[in-house]
Amino acid sequence: GDSVTQMEGPVTLSEEAFLTINCTYTATGYPSLFWYVQYPGEGLQLLLKATKADDKGSNKGFEATYRKETTSFHLEKGSVQVSDSAVYFCALTRAGGTSYGKLTFGQGTILTVHP
Amino acid sequence: EAQVTQNPRYLITVTGKKLTVTCSQNMNHEYMSWYRQDPGLGLRQIYYSMNVEVTDKGDVPEGYKVSRKEKRNFPLILESPSPNQTSLYFCASSPLGVQGSSKNIQYFGAGTRLSVL
């Protein structure tokens, strides 16, 4: 079945540091890929997405590129802020069949940014 | 404001006492879904619904029931809760559309933290 693997956390950085959170996936066909963010006490919000190979999703300074050859969708940000402290989830969804709409999530990566 | 509303946000109960977690969305979305979030496991789908009166099992449906009598509401029912159902629960909704298109972005509620003693 489909699966998503994220890098082990938690990740602790100083403000303005470079961020990478690795995400690799296993899925048949051509999944769409997402990064969701969960701020403390809140639900999940879509951060960015990519729907086909070589697409780059971007939002709020975060970027991720859909790499089909390496089945990866790594999240990057050039300069993190304290307000980026949250849990980040990589996820995928596949078209059609009985799994319509189901998001398959990675285990989540806790990011803490210190001033 | 477009939103998915879950109630209650926090719930402590005892084994075997039936409970319902409500979920309501105001975006006229056809698709709704329930997930549970557990440490180290991410979110796993419990049940989903593609429209009124159309529901189906997700990956971890055991011990749960759902109903979809109205388009906006999708309650999660635990007939006889057990301690292994202690978790953080999320409801989500989205419009039906071409998979992967912007229409398929799922909107999540704020979550319900359930403890079963």
How confident is the model over B55-114, as pLDDT tens digits?
999 999 999 999 999 999 999 999 999 999 999 999 999 887 665 555 578 899 999 999
Report residue B60 CA to chain centroid gap.
12
Q: What was the pLDDT predicted at A95?
A: 64
In the predicted model, what is the mean pLDDT of chain A? 91
Token code pair at residue B29 = 């979305």
Q: Which residues of B touch A103 (CB under 8 A)?
A: 35, 43, 45, 92, 106
Short-list A66, A55, A60, A57, CA closest to A79: A60
User: Which of A91, A95, A98 faces B99 most closely, judged by CB atoms?
Assistant: A95
**Over residues A10-39, mean pLDDT:** 94
In angstroms, the Cα distances linking B68 to A28, A64, B23, B47, B65 are: 30, 36, 10, 11, 11
The answer, yes or no, to whether residue B14 has pLDDT greater than 80, is: yes
Alpha-carbon distance of B46 to B89, in angstroms, equals 10
Question: Maximum Cα–Cα distance for chain A, whole Å?
Answer: 47
Alpha-carbon distance of B58 to B34, in angstroms, equals 9
CA-nearest residue to A95 within chain B is B99
Q: B99 vs A45: CB contact, 8 Å cut-off?
A: no
Minimal C-alpha gap between B3 and chain A (Å): 11
Answer for the pair B22, B72: CB distance below 8 angstroms, yes or no. Answer: no
Q: Which residues of B touch A108 (CB under 8 A)?
A: 42
Indicate the pLDDT class of residue A29, thresholds 50, 70 and 90.
Answer: confident
Q: B100 vs A43: CB contact, 8 Å cut-off?
A: no
**Over residues A28-46, mean pLDDT:** 90
The answer, yes or no, to whether residue A110 has pLDDT greater than 70, is: yes
CA-nearest residue to A52 within chain B is B100
Alpha-carbon distance of A91 to A5, in angstroms, equals 9
* Burial class of residue A35, CB neighbours in 10 A (0-12, 13-18, 19+): buried
In angstroms, the Cα distances linking A90 to B2, B8, B111 are: 24, 27, 18
Minimal C-alpha gap between B13 and chain A (Å): 21
Alpha-carbon distance of B62 to B45, in angstroms, equals 11
Alpha-carbon distance of B104 to B50, in angstroms, equals 12
Q: A89 vs B43: CB contact, 8 Å cut-off?
A: yes
If DSSP codes are grouped into helix, strand and coil, which group holds residue B5?
strand
Answer for the pair B46, B36: CB distance below 8 angstroms, yes or no. Answer: yes
Q: A43 vs B105: CB contact, 8 Å cut-off?
A: no
Judge whether A115 is closer than 8 Å to chain B, CB to CB: no
Token code pair at residue B113 = 């933290």
